[in-house]
């Protein structure tokens, strides 16, 4: 009889005590996570593999195993990168928690088809398009490889690396120290002089130069290689 009472007491403690065996009889976190993933996939018309659900072990422990929580996607933009999913259940009173799921959307980006050395001019064959899941690592990656052609690498770029715009620069058509032609426009009159560039500049950019005849510093715009137009 005493053994039977002890056995019953042990069962009661296991059921009521938070650290007891009852912990094995709670809502399964992985099952709930799969339900959330499925709900987002159906609502947002994406693959379940593209849906990320944060750790929800704490939430699963709050839901009685006898309850089946309801799920619904909420938010003003329900299928943005972050998707709020409302989890509701009834335990004495109605309870609900919002789980922030994320959608990893595939995006096309330009990557290096080969290793590109610092200072190299980018050619179309140096690039290829790849579809990858959006992530922090891809922020700033260029999407259109054609817009990168003709630029110059500011750093070494490994093969397969996403190409970021700030890794490239426009190739200057005038370099610091170059002798240049200065074209002064005064109405319909054009006066030509000789100058020396004080900085690098690409086509259409402004730069500083020194007029070698007057020794004055001027600011002009690159009209073409070796030619700076100075407007009055």
Segment holding 72, helix H or strand E:
strand 70-73
Distance CA 125, CA 185 (A): 42
pLDDT in tens, 15-40: 444 433 334 444 789 999 999 999 99
* Nearest CA-CA partner of 122 in 182, 164, 176, 62: 164
- Burial grade of 131 (CB within 10 A; 0-12, 13-18, 19 or more): exposed
Q: What pLDDT does 66 receive? A: 85
Question: What is each CA distance from 22 to 17, 33, 48, 62, 106, in whole angstroms?
Answer: 8, 21, 31, 12, 42
Q: What is the mean pLDDT of residues 96-108?
A: 88
* Domains in the chain: boundaries: 24-103, 106-170, 179-231
Distance CA 211, CA 194 (A): 6
Instruction: Decide which of 3.40.710.10, 2.30.30.760, 2.40.37.10, 1.10.240.10 is the CATH code for 179-231.
Output: 2.30.30.760
Q: What is the mean pLDDT of residues 98-116?
A: 90
Q: What pLDDT does 195 receive? A: 96
pLDDT in tens, 132-143: 776 666 677 888
pLDDT in tens, 206-231: 999 999 999 999 999 999 999 999 98
DSSP helix/strand/coil, 113: coil
Q: Which letter does DSSP use for residue 33 in this model?
A: H
Domain 106-170, CATH class in plain words: alpha beta
pTM above 0.85, yes or no: no
Cα 151–Cα 153–Cα 159 angle in degrees, nearest 5: 115
Distance CA 37, CA 70 (A): 13
Q: What pLDDT does 137 receive? A: 61
């Amino acid at each position: 009889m005493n053994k039977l009472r002890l056995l019953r007491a042990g069962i009661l403690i296991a059921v009521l005590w938070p650290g007891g065996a009852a912990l094995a009889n709670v809502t399964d976190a992985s099952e709930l996570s799969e339900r959330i993933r499925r709900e987002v996939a159906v609502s947002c018309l994406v693959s379940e593999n593209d849906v990320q659900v944060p750790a929800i072990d704490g939430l699963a422990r709050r839901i009685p195993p006898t309850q089946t929580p309801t799920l619904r996607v909420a938010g003003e933009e329900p299928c943005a990168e972050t998707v709020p999913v409302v989890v509701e259940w009834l335990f004495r009173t109605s309870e609900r928690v919002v789980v922030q799921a994320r959608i990893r959307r595939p995006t096309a980006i330009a990557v290096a088809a080969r290793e590109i050395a610092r200072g190299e001019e980018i050619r179309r064959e140096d690039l290829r398009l790849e579809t990858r899941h959006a992530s922090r690592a891809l922020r700033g990656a260029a999407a259109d490889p054609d817009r990168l052609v003709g630029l110059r690498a500011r750093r070494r770029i490994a093969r397969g690396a996403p190409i970021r715009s700030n890794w490239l620069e426009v190739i200057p058509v005038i370099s610091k120290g170059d002798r240049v032609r200065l074209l002064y426009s005064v109405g319909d009159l054009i006066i030509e002089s000789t100058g020396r560039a004080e900085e690098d500049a690409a086509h259409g950019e402004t730069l500083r130069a020194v007029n070698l005849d007057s020794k004055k510093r001027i600011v002009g715009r690159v009209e073409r290689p070796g030619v700076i137009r100075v407007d009055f």
